[in-house]
Amino acid sequence: MTTSASGSGLTTISVGEGGETREIAVLHRPATGTRAPQLVWLGGYRSDMAGTKAIEMDRLAEELGCAALRFDYSGHGQSGGEFRLGTISRWLEETLAVIDAYAAEEVVLVGSSMGGWIALRLVQELRRRAAGPRVHGMLLIAPAPDFTSDLIEPALTEAEHRSLEERGYFEEASEYSPEPNIFTRALIEDGRNNRVLQGVIDTGCPVHILQGMRDEDVPYRHALKLVEFLPADDVVLTLVRDGDHRLSRPQDIERMRNAMLALTGMELPH
């Protein structure tokens, strides 16, 4: 792995070797006189670090004086690499590389949608290798763990099955972009190997879940299912009756900020 700075203030981290190398764009805000946990943004599928919630996380870090870390997975935002090559394993590898490059004693992981799945796998990997920062807390916003096997595969149409077999992917219209969502056979197969809703998930830290009850992408019952696999943790589940998948309205952002404050154990300066 190598790093380099760009003129735009971004840092580029090179992950992988040979033909697997991709340049990952990172934005890091150093701490200013506090030992509070570093806030780490883990974005969703086809999302990026310039989204509303990611920017709000960074803004809170600035107010608190704590460090903040944002980045784009390969094939997303300002990072290199092809989106169609993306898998949970590949994006998890990049997440670990970024975490290692910006070492912190403690982190609070803020995972949105697919980022919630990445966050849960990250905790498992950090524990497995017994190295890296201690996870002080987790905020999961509309988390989508195991979404390929639990949400996509059961709903595949005959035409989508055929497309996966013949072309290696299928497309579906996106509510958030004029470009369709693309789900590859590699993503789905790799997703089976990264499932977390298979047994007790012991994160070793407090977990706060924010979930909209009008979420048409990740039904709120999926969040209820996740809670069942977190029996050892201090878990708070906030269900937002009129909230959608984005949870980006002012009132949703306020909930997000309050949850991050509680997880860091800090208070805003007066």
Nearest-angstrom CA–CA distance, 197 and 124: 12
Torsion angle in degrees (nearest 10) through CA of 3, 131, 139, 27: -10
Q: pLDDT, tens digit, for every residue of 145-192? A: 999 999 999 999 999 999 999 999 999 888 777 888 899 999 999 999
Please tell me the predicted confidence (pLDDT) of residue 263: 97
CATH ID of 2-147+195-264, from 2.60.290.11, 3.65.10.10, 3.30.365.10, 3.40.50.1820: 3.40.50.1820
> Residue 70 pairs with which residues in a beta bridge?
27
Q: Delimit the domains of the chain by residue range.
A: 2-147+195-264
Judge contact between 230 and 151, C-beta under 8 A. Answer: no
Amino acid at 141: I
Judge contact between 69 and 26, C-beta under 8 A. Answer: yes
Q: Span 3-15, mean pLDDT?
A: 69
Q: pLDDT, tens digit, for every residue of 136-151? A: 999 999 999 999 999 9
* Best CA proximity match to 122, nearest among 103, 105, 135: 135
Angle subtended at Cα 98 by Cα 116 and Cα 94, rounded to the nearest 5 degrees? 65
Please tell me the predicted confidence (pLDDT) of residue 178: 80
Q: How large is the angle between the packed helices 185-193 and 158-167, nearest 10 degrees?
A: 100
Q: Span 110-118, mean pLDDT?
A: 98
Which CA distances in Å does 14 have to 25, 81, 93, 101, 157? Answer: 9, 11, 11, 11, 38
Nearest-angstrom CA–CA distance, 224 and 230: 10
Please tell me the predicted confidence (pLDDT) of residue 8: 43
Nearest-angstrom CA–CA distance, 148 and 188: 6
Q: pLDDT, tens digit, for every residue of 229-255? A: 999 889 999 999 999 999 999 999 999
Mean pLDDT of the chain: 93
Please tell me the predicted confidence (pLDDT) of residue 9: 66
Amino acid at 82: E
pTM: 0.94
